[in-house]
Amino acid sequence: MMLVGGVLTSVIVAGGVLTAGRGLSIDPAVSSHARAALVRLAELTVTDGRPSRSDYRRAAFGAAWTDAATVLGGGNGCDTRNDVLARDLTDLRRSMVDSCPNAVAGGEFRSPYTGDFIVFRRDRRAGDVQIDHIVPLAYAWDMGAWSWPVTMRTNLANDPANLVAVDAASNLTKSDQAPAQWLPPNRGFHCQYVTQFVMVMAGYRLTVDRPSHDVMAAVLRSCAAVE
């Protein structure tokens, strides 16, 4: 199946300007990505609501943060969590762990979900920084991933286009909610968040519930209008 690949890589890079604060400050490139996401959103199959399934299991998406995926970063000798920390944090300090010979031992960043500045240390409250699946795995399961082979589910769970380092509180609050129920408190990150959500959904050919479709369309229209 064709995945989002380079499209989302460029969105991630361009979207970096959105993580620096709480205000709405949109790079012109983000407007272009939002327009592209509107096109992809229109291609998604829409359901009236989110199906109610009771058979979701995290294990169905493979071992957590496995390096054994065929997405960007897979098979590089380092677990997915460390790959994302290395991408999203600055002022990095490194150490060796079993899952990564060049793991992130420390760093700092602003959580894109809140704009709050966070210092990360592996040896002290490492759980304060978590890696969020932008498209939650439980939501993906309900919207079609239940029928996939485990290799494709493993790819989604470890695809850097669907991952972002965030503060733990926001990740826990979001849980497995779709955009109709939850968007980041930092409005300045809405354009990138929704763009990535749509591109991942489209790349993996997931369906979308009507309320979330409409919320994301409104966000993207607003983002695309900013020049």
Model confidence pLDDT, tens digit, residues 67-98:
999 999 999 999 999 999 999 999 999 999 99
Q: From its phi and psi, is residue 66 left (phi > 0), alpha (psi between -120 and 50) or beta?
A: beta
3-state secondary structure of 129: strand
Give the pTM.
Answer: 0.89
Identify the residue with better confidence: 109 or 7.
109
**Euclidean distance between CA atoms 221 and 223, whole angstroms:** 5
pLDDT in tens, 123-162: 888 899 999 999 999 999 999 999 999 999 999 999 999 9
What's the distance, CA 175 to chain centroid?
13
DSSP secondary structure letter of residue 209: E
- Model pLDDT, residue 141: 98
pLDDT in tens, 169-189: 999 999 999 999 999 999 999
**Euclidean distance between CA atoms 69 and 155, whole angstroms:** 5
Q: What's the average model confidence in pLDDT over 51-62?
A: 96
